Amino acid sequence: MKNYNHHLAKQLILKFRTYSIFFFCLALNHSSSYAQISKTFTKEIEVQPGVTLVSNVPAAIGLNMSGTMSSNNTKSRYSFSGKNGDVRVNILKDLEIETWDKNIIKQETLVTIKAATNEDARMVMDQLQLKLEKGADNRIVADCNLNIALFLMKNGFFKADDCEIQLDNGRKYAIEYLELETRLSIPKSINVSIVGKKNCTIRLGELNGDLDLDLKYAEVFGTNVRNLRASLKSCYHVFFDQVEAADISSSNSYVKIDQVGSMKIGSQSLNDACDLPHLRNQRSKSAQTKYKLGTVGILSVNDSANDEIIIDEVGEMSVKNTSYTDFEIDRLNTSLLLEAKSSDLTISKIAREFSQIDINNSLSTIALFFETGANYTLKVNRNNYTEGLNDTWTKVSQDDDDKDVYKIGKSDKGGLVSINCDRCKFDIH
Amino acid sequence: MNDFEKYLQDNKQKLEPDHIDQRVWLSIENEILRAKNKRIKLFVKALAAGILLLIGSYALHSYHHQNLPPGEERILAEYDLTKYEFTQQVSFKKQALLKATVPQDKIDDLQILLQQLEFMDGQFQDYRLYIEENGYQEFIGDQILNFYKSKIELLDKIQKEVEKINYYEKLQPSSSKAVDIEI
């Protein structure tokens, strides 16, 4: 009996040893099955003022996925998991462009790769290249995703996640996980052009050059820019502190600029990225966008439909080819020429020194409030159906266009207000 | 009982063999067992086929379901936007517009807004496509929230413009006949 017990104990110990060796091997196998390495790719090139940096957006990397996947994105991360919830691709969506006084463009891209072995991960890392070179056309192309063209993932009912990256030379490499983070530092004096159809957040420092944006689903937080040209679609947060000259066409967006020298709205067609193919020809150059502007020197609205334009203070303003766009202006200093349809207009204060207001509109509400002591001549076409015009004004004459002419104020001097608005409601004080 | 049965009963003792060969019994038993096994095998096969059929149809259904573009309600639920009852509001406002009429010579004035409404319907397809290609991303939820607010504002604007047109039509009637708004 004693012998038997001894034998049993020996057997149990042996069994336990075997299991521990088995589990140890399993753990070792698991830990050694994936190797993760990180590397920051950095490149600097010296440039002269006047060159243009052309950049894509971080999430522009192509994705080709089939099978079970889930996205666990956050506001700043573009992240996808595979079959068992393991994160397979993780890209920082923010593109921070710092500007400095040095004549150097610097790109820093942090890449993290997980592969089957350390050698595999290193081999893939060795194939990645940061190409930041000056082209013959004075343009420098920055690719936030280095030379990675595509991330591929496949899985199935009996198949685990099979991930690869495809480089721009067509070569594919098996990996387990990819992470990218890019940051740019540029001279203040150069021009920047950013094209992106995927969601991203762009943060840009002060720029003395031109900024060209062709964006969809993006957020832009800019500071001071000399010339801004933007084609935007569904960009609900586009902010700038100060722009010397802006030319913006956009649809379904929100644009806020605190101070702008001259601004054009809807002067250029929206780029392809901003159009839905089957409706391209039916749309205005600026539509369903809210523009919130602080101080504007000259504003020119060329083609707008159902926008909302809110301005603190504007010097000169001209509006044409516009329908259903409403204007709300706190102060007008010099002149306004408006040719529109069904566009409501409210100007809370028109400066005493204004020179001209010319309104051609229909089916609208026009509210004009002149600064105290303003003298002006008012011409109104009374053949149109109108409501709210002051009957106490003294008509002084009738002009060649059949408009009634009134003198408002004590002096004969002052600006000229000409209104031709059919089926309109007025509030003029 | 007939004569033959009576004979068998009477001569039961004589007719029973003294010794039965074991092989005969074994063979009879095997025969019975084989028949029993055949029935069990048939049952197991049918059961396996049924299970396989169930698994297959489930896999096919899930695959098909996975590859179906997500519906509007599913997308709204995914982003926890159903509480705003956007689709109900849009439907209610569209119903109200469908009942409205405007003079035929004024319908062109509304075309820009009606096209924007059509464009917005296309816009939602764009979100759906983005979700199909890139998964449910947080920003698409914000986009859809803004999208529905804009769409509701647009429907309100169309309603307001229709009312404005009809208000002035009442004050200055035209000879144009009233037509429905096609949305």
What residue segments make up the domains of chain B, in order of their start?
12-67, 72-180
| pLDDT confidence of residue A40 | 96
Chain A residues close to B125, C-beta within 8 Å: 276
Task: Say what the pTM is.
Answer: 0.81
User: For A2-60, how does the pLDDT look when each residue is reduced to its tens digit (9 = 90+)?
Assistant: 455 565 556 655 555 555 555 554 444 444 468 999 999 999 999 988 899 999 998 88
Interface of A with B (CB under 8 A): 63, 68-71, 73-75, 78, 80, 157, 198-199, 217, 234, 236, 252, 276, 278-279, 282-284, 287-288, 305-306, 323-324, 341-342, 363, 385, 423
The segment with the largest mean pLDDT, out of A265-274, A294-303, A398-407, is A294-303
Residue A214 pairs with which residues in a beta bridge? Answer: A195, A231
H or E segment at B34?
helix B22-67
Q: Do B138 and A73 touch (CB under 8 A)?
A: yes
pLDDT greater than 90 at residue A122: yes
| pLDDT confidence of residue A103 | 95
The C-alpha torsion from B163 through B164 and B169 to B171, rounded to 10°, is 110
- The answer for residues whose C-beta is within 8 angstroms of residue B168's C-beta and 6 or more apart is A363, A385, A423
By Cβ distance, the residue of A70, A80, A282 closest to B115 is A282
The maximal CA–CA distance of chain B, rounded, in angstroms, is 126
Which position has the higher pLDDT, A91 or A31? A91
pLDDT greater than 80 at residue B180: yes
Nearest CA to A121 among A62, A178, A59? A178
User: For A177-204, how does the pLDDT look when each residue is reduced to its tens digit (9 = 90+)?
Assistant: 999 999 999 999 999 999 998 889 999 9
Q: Do A306 and B154 touch (CB under 8 A)?
A: yes
Residue B90 three-state SS: helix
Which position has the higher pLDDT, B75 or B24? B75
What distance lies between CA A105 and its chain's CA centroid? 22
| pLDDT confidence of residue A320 | 95
pLDDT band at B6 (very low <50, low <70, confident <90, very high): confident
Tokens found for residue A3:
């012998």
pLDDT greater than 90 at residue B182: no
Pick the residue from chain B with its C-alpha nearest to A286.
B116
CB of A350 within 8 A of CB of A330?
no
> How much is the average pLDDT of B168-178?
87
pLDDT greater than 80 at residue A391: no
Q: Do B165 and A157 touch (CB under 8 A)?
A: no
Rounded to an integer, what distance in angstroms lies between the CA atom of residue A146 and that of residue A268? 32
User: For A310-331, how does the pLDDT look when each residue is reduced to its tens digit (9 = 90+)?
Assistant: 999 999 999 999 999 999 999 9
Rounded to an integer, what distance in angstroms lies between the CA atom of residue A223 and that of residue A204? 7
| pLDDT confidence of residue B181 | 87
The segment with the largest mean pLDDT, out of A213-227, A399-413, B57-71, is A213-227
Chain B residues close to A366, C-beta within 8 Å: none
Q: Do A73 and B135 touch (CB under 8 A)?
A: yes
Tokens found for residue A255:
């644009």
Output the CA–CA distances (angstroms, integers) from residue A104 to A107, A110, A346, A354, B125, in the order listed.
10, 19, 48, 47, 43
| Residue of B130, B137, B154 for testing the chain A interface, max A β-carbons within 10 Å | B137
pLDDT greater than 80 at residue A371: yes
Q: Is the ipTM of this complex over 0.90?
A: no
Taking phi over 0 as left and psi of -120 to 50 as alpha, with beta for the rest, A414 belongs to left
Burial of A251 (0-12, 13-18, 19+ CB in 10 A): buried
Q: Do A279 and B115 touch (CB under 8 A)?
A: yes
| pLDDT confidence of residue A277 | 42
Range of lowest pLDDT (A151-165, A280-294, A360-374): A280-294
User: For B52-76, how does the pLDDT look when each residue is reduced to its tens digit (9 = 90+)?
Assistant: 888 888 777 665 555 555 788 888 9
